[in-house]
Amino acid sequence: MKPRSLVLGGAGFIGSHLTEALLREGHEVTVFDKIGIKRDNIAHILPDIKFIEGDFLDEHFTGTLPDGMDYVFHLVSTTLPATSNKNPVYDVTSNLAPSVHLIQACAEKKIKKFFFISSGGTVYGVPKDDLISEKHPTEPINSYAITKLSIEKFLGLYKYLHGLDYTVLRVANPYGPRQPYDKPQGVIAVFMSRILNDKPLEIWGDGNQLRDYLYIEDTIEAFLTVLKKETPSDVYNFGSSIGISVNDIINQLKDITGRDFEVIYNDTGNVGVPKNVLDSSRAKEELGWAPKTELKDGLKKTWEWFSDKLGK
Ligand SMILES: NC(=O)c1ccc[n+]([C@@H]2O[C@H](COP(=O)([O-])OP(=O)(O)OC[C@H]3O[C@@H](n4cnc5c(N)ncnc54)[C@H](O)[C@@H]3O)[C@@H](O)[C@H]2O)c1
């Protein structure tokens, strides 16, 4: 019998790529996503999946779960790092509480494994090390990250109480085709859409802040790796382990796009921590996972997709 997987947030950027990959792996896939959500990302695979439309805040869904699921992939987030501090209570009610309902339902239904995407870019807070390993202290400075960590901890609790197996993927900054470009997250997608619309690129701070970017195919390979390797109920970092500045990205985009665009430096925005680069050696040593796509190749593929989509 085919393995049965449920992908929450499967119509989104990462979720749609994951859904495609699970279908390729021979899974029967059910996607759960928002009522009225655009289905562009999964239009080509809609006949191959079951789609459940609903609201993550609706306990009727998170508390019951479709029957017969083997694997549950939780990729819904109702908030973003950049804006979550404006309303932390909303994070607790709309992210944390529904996630606990979902985890509880998964424990009751005795699914085989729960996979949760956490945030390598935010759960550690202000980095003390050049490369951040899973052992680095977690001192989040936004509500989004506190919520991610709390969900991780609840998974640990349900493992302890009910034997629910899980793996947490603390992913760096994924980028690639289908990334939303209308949100304060995903600088590469935002920049590409602005270039295609002849708008200036706005940079918060001096553009020297370093981040860790992971191409979507490598991100999806991380999911497939933890699925196939039957990882312990634990937490893994997945990143490139290379610090790239916003200015580096701008320079690469000049080469790749061949376009002359205006760059505006803005000191008033929240720049975040100066550096956040993940140490992914545990995933490499224990699971044999390593990113394969170099930034310039990933940017090229992403640019091709955006040029095609935005038709300029
Ligand atoms: N993109 C990143 O940089 C990044 C980095 C680390 C972790 N993550 C995490 O990965 C996950 C997926 O992110 P993404 O970048 O693909 O974002 P996305 O916005 O493309 O996908 C999220 C999906 O969740 C769905 N969703 C949101 N609220 C919902 C609700 N109330 N009910 C039902 N569905 C709802 C959305 O409709 C969307 O399809 C999120 O949990 C995010 O926190 C993202």
The atom number, within ligand 1, closest to the CA of 120 reads 6
Calculate how far, in angstroms, residue 53's C-alpha sits from the geometric centre of ligand 1. 15
**What CA–CA distance (Å, rounded) separates 255 from 228?**
38
Q: Is 288 exposed, middle or buried (0-12, 13-18, 19+ CB in 10 A)?
A: exposed
pLDDT at 156 over 80: yes
Q: Give the residue, out of 6, 14, 60, 74, with the most ligand 1 atoms within 8 A of its beta carbon, to mutate for a pocket test.
A: 14
Q: Identify which of 143, 68, 72 has the alpha carbon closest to the alpha carbon of residue 104.
A: 72
Q: Determine contact, residues 225/286, Cβ cutoff 8 Å.
A: no
The atom number, within ligand 1, closest to the CA of 173 reads 3
The pair of structure tokens assigned to 197 is 């619309």
Calculate how far, in angstroms, residue 312's C-alpha sits from the geometric centre of ligand 1. 27
The atom number, within ligand 1, closest to the CA of 98 reads 31
pLDDT in tens, 28-77: 999 999 999 999 999 999 999 999 999 999 988 888 889 999 999 999 99
Calculate how far, in angstroms, residue 77's C-alpha sits from the geometric centre of ligand 1. 5
pLDDT at 195 over 80: yes
Q: Give the residue, out of 6, 7, 34, with the most ligand 1 atoms within 8 A of its beta carbon, to mutate for a pocket test.
A: 34
Calculate how far, in angstroms, residue 14's C-alpha sits from the geometric centre of ligand 1. 7
CA 221 to chain centre: 13
pLDDT in tens, 127-155: 999 999 999 999 999 999 999 999 999 99
**What CA–CA distance (Å, rounded) separates 94 from 101?**
11
The pair of structure tokens assigned to 216 is 């979507």
Cα-trace Rg, the chain: 19
pLDDT at 269 over 70: no
The pLDDT assigned to 86 comes to 93
Cβ-proximal residues to 108 (8 Å cutoff; 6+ apart), any chain = none
Measured by CA distance, the residue closest to atom 25 of ligand 1 is 9
Give catalytic status of residue 144 as yes or no.
yes
Where does ligand 1 bind, in terms of residues with CB under 6 Å? 9, 11-15, 33-34, 37, 55-57, 75-78, 117, 119, 171, 173-174, 180, 185-186
Q: Determine contact, residues 106/154, Cβ cutoff 8 Å.
A: no
Higher pLDDT, 230 or 115: 115
The pair of structure tokens assigned to 15 is 């979720």
The atom number, within ligand 1, closest to the CA of 148 reads 43
Give long-range contacts, CB 8 A cutoff, 24+ apart: 92-101: 92/147, 93/57, 94/56, 94/57, 95/147, 95/151, 96/147, 96/150, 96/151, 98/56, 98/57, 98/59, 98/62, 99/62, 99/74, 99/151, 99/154, 100/151, 100/154, 101/59, 101/62, 101/63
| pLDDT interval class at 230 (50, 70, 90) | confident
The pair of structure tokens assigned to 72 is 């549950």
Delimit the domains of the chain by residue range: 4-173+213-238, 177-211+241-310
Q: Stretch 118-122: mean pLDDT, rounded? A: 96
Measured by CA distance, the residue closest to atom 35 of ligand 1 is 34
Calculate how far, in angstroms, residue 259's C-alpha sits from the geometric centre of ligand 1. 31
Q: Identify which of 205, 183, 210 has the alpha carbon closest to the alpha carbon of residue 84.
A: 183
Measured by CA distance, the residue closest to atom 37 of ligand 1 is 34
Superfamily of domain 177-211+241-310 in the CATH hierarchy = UDP-galactose 4-epimerase, domain 1 (3.90.25.10)
**What CA–CA distance (Å, rounded) separates 297 from 282?**
25
Measured by CA distance, the residue closest to atom 9 of ligand 1 is 117
Q: Is 308 exposed, middle or buried (0-12, 13-18, 19+ CB in 10 A)?
A: exposed
Q: Which helix (H) or strand (E) holds 203?
A: strand 201-204
Q: Which one of 71, 124, 144, 236 is the catalytic residue?
A: 144
**What CA–CA distance (Å, rounded) separates 146 from 286?**
27
pTM score: 0.97
Which residue reads 């239009």 in tokens? 43
**What CA–CA distance (Å, rounded) separates 257 from 88?**
39
**What CA–CA distance (Å, rounded) separates 245 from 86?**
27
Within 71-122, residue ranges assigned H as helices are: 88-91, 97-109
Angle between the 143-162 and 97-109 helix axes, to the nearest 10 degrees? 20
Could you say which architecture CATH assigns to the domain 4-173+213-238? 3-Layer(aba) Sandwich (3.40)
- The C-alpha angle 166, 169, 170, rounded to 5 degrees, equals 135
pLDDT in tens, 79-116: 998 889 999 999 999 999 999 999 999 999 999 999 99
Calculate how far, in angstroms, residue 75's C-alpha sits from the geometric centre of ligand 1. 6
Calculate how far, in angstroms, residue 255's C-alpha sits from the geometric centre of ligand 1. 30
Number of residues assigned to the chain: 312
Q: Determine contact, residues 278/241, Cβ cutoff 8 Å.
A: yes
Measured by CA distance, the residue closest to atom 6 of ligand 1 is 119
- How does the average pLDDT of the chain come out, rounded? 94
pLDDT at 287 over 90: yes
The pair of structure tokens assigned to 206 is 């001096």
